[in-house]
Structure formats: structure tokens, C-alpha cells
Chain A
């Protein structure tokens, strides 16, 4: 598993396509794909939106199941924690949840890349 993170509009998805030789048709959009897709695709982007959707459906993200069923997945997520605490209760919980899930993912991942201005830095080496 590989995690790619960074702010919005930084070119993270394109970076991951280039870096890992993934074709767009091998990737799913976490904002709209079936929730099961995470177990099948080579790459899932907007992973933070995927987490949001899980929360809306009151489901838990299972890292163990993902590692068992799709251990080579590349997850691409926005980095969400660099702003003021959101006013809305759900937004607060979502931001917190995304952070906690991504910490676990990063711990389990072979590599973690962070993208700024389209440029990636490997912040955890395999």
C-alpha cells in the first residue's frame, strides 16, 4: 500500500499516475465510486471523500480488510488538518476521522508521498 497526500489542487492524482505507472481507468474516484471499489482498484483518489461517505452511511473503514484484499492499492488523499476547527459538528468529526484513518494508513504503508506544487517528496521510504 502507498499513500499520497498533500493539499487540494496540487496535482497529486497526476503525480501518482506518473510515479506508479497507473492508467486513469485503473483508478476510482472516492467521491463517487461504489464503496466496494476500494478492494478492486489499483488506485483510489479523493480518499478523504471516501471516508466522508463511509461516515454518512455510518460505516467504519477497515484497514485490516483492505490490506488483506487489496494490499497493492495506492490511496490519494487531501491533507485536511491545516486550518481552523470547522464550526459544523459533522465537519469536525470528518476532519478528525480522516486524520486518524490516514495515520493508520501511513503506518501500514510501504511508502508515503507528499505533493506540494506538483512536486512529490517521499516522507516514508519503503
Chain B
């Protein structure tokens, strides 16, 4: 099963996605972490998420670029968080996919899903404010928008989380409970 969870910043989408993984009940669980720890704020965020996962028996694998090369064999369910970080990493980090980042990331999604039975991808809604961004930021929005659309096309379930409330755009949330 491929699941896309999206939502605004601070919407509770991480917690919701982790809950989905537990409902799928297909162990062992792999957490694919994409946030590169640039500064103190990143470290704090990472620590908060690690604490949330501690009791939930996730193994953590860091992946900043090159998703398609990771080894996730033997895991029942993978949770990838967050697509907005991975996209920015691929665009700007040394060794990143640059202008091929949409294709590379989608290949990565396929590769991970082939290795694990279930994949839950957390993404981010950064598309609905009134600011006209500079061309570079617009390019980032366009890439992430395209990635979200492509994943949604293939996904069995697409959920937008609005302050902890799941809004289902595709598929059936109830099905998750008896798929696992």
C-alpha cells in the first residue's frame, strides 16, 4: 500500500502518519528521516520526533539525497518524512539530483515500495499563500507540487491533515485498519 499524508506546518501530520503505520501492523517499521540537521532548531525538531517514535519500535535511517539507493529490505512498512526536506536537499545539496529531482525522487519512492510492503510518505502544503515568490522558490514549489501529484496518482490513500483531522482525498481510511 502506498499512502500520501500531506498538510500544513504544525497540522499534526507526522503524528497522524505514525498512527497509520501502527494501524497497518506490518513490522518491522522503518523511519526514513530526511531533515538535514543544519542548526539548533533542526536538532530540536529531530529530537521531538525521535521522542515520539521511541515507543513505537521504528528503526531510523537517515536519507538526505539518493532515495533510490537506500536499503530497506526486510521492513514491512516504511515511513518517509518529509518530502519537502528531501526535495530541497535534492535541489541544493552537493550530489543532489538538481533539475532531475522530481524523476529521481519518484524512482526512489518506487524502489522503497518494492522493498517494503507499505510506504507512507509525509509531504507538505506550501502552496496557498498570497506571496509572489522569487523564481527559485517558485521552482521549489513547482517540483514539490509535481512530486505530490505523481505520488497521489499512484497512491492507494491520500490524506490531508487539518489540525489533526484527516481529510481523505483518495481511497478509504477504514481499509487501512484491516489491510495490515
Interface residues of A, Cβ cutoff 8 Å to B: 6-11, 78-84, 86, 91, 94-95, 98, 116-119, 121
Whether B128 contacts A11 by the Cβ 8 Å rule is no
- Majority DSSP secondary structure for residues of B touching A: mixed
Known: A9-B146, A83-B129, A98-B130. 8 other contacts (CB 8 A): A7-B128, A9-B141, A11-B145, A116-B160, A117-B4, A117-B123, A117-B158, A117-B169
Whether A86 contacts B152 by the Cβ 8 Å rule is no
Whether B146 contacts A79 by the Cβ 8 Å rule is no
Whether A84 contacts B6 by the Cβ 8 Å rule is no
Q: How far is the CA of A98 from the CA of B128 in the complex (A)?
A: 13
Expressed in whole angstroms, the minimum distance between the Cβ of B134 and any Cβ of chain A is 14
Whether A117 contacts B6 by the Cβ 8 Å rule is yes
How many pairs of A and B residues are in contact by the CB < 8 Å rule?
A: 73
Q: How far is the CA of A94 from the CA of B129 in the complex (A)?
A: 12
Measured CB to CB, the nearest residue on chain B to A48 is B130
Whether A10 contacts B127 by the Cβ 8 Å rule is yes
Whether B129 contacts A84 by the Cβ 8 Å rule is yes
Q: A116-B6, A117-B158, A118-B153 are in contact. Are A95 and B130 (CB under 8 A)?
A: yes
Expressed in whole angstroms, the minimum distance between the Cβ of A79 and any Cβ of chain B is 5
Interface residues of B, Cβ cutoff 8 Å to A: 4, 6, 8, 123, 125-132, 141-142, 144-146, 148-149, 151-153, 158, 160, 169-170
Q: How far is the CA of A117 from the CA of B2 in the complex (A)?
A: 15
Whether A82 contacts B149 by the Cβ 8 Å rule is no
Q: What 5 pairs between A and B have smallest CB-CB spacing?
A: A83-B129, A7-B127, A9-B145, A95-B130, A117-B152
Whether A118 contacts B131 by the Cβ 8 Å rule is no
Choice from B6, B131, B149, B160 contacting A83 with Cβ under 8 Å: B131
Whether B145 contacts A8 by the Cβ 8 Å rule is yes
Expressed in whole angstroms, the minimum distance between the Cβ of B17 and any Cβ of chain A is 15
Chain A residue contacts of B146, Cβ below 8 A: 9
Measured CB to CB, the nearest residue on chain B to A52 is B132
Chain B residue contacts of A6, Cβ below 8 A: 127-128
Q: How far is the CA of A7 from the CA of B146 in the complex (A)?
A: 12
Q: How far is the CA of A7 from the CA of B169 in the complex (A)?
A: 15
Q: A10-B149, A117-B158 are in contact. Are A83 and B130 (CB under 8 A)?
A: yes
Whether A117 contacts B148 by the Cβ 8 Å rule is yes
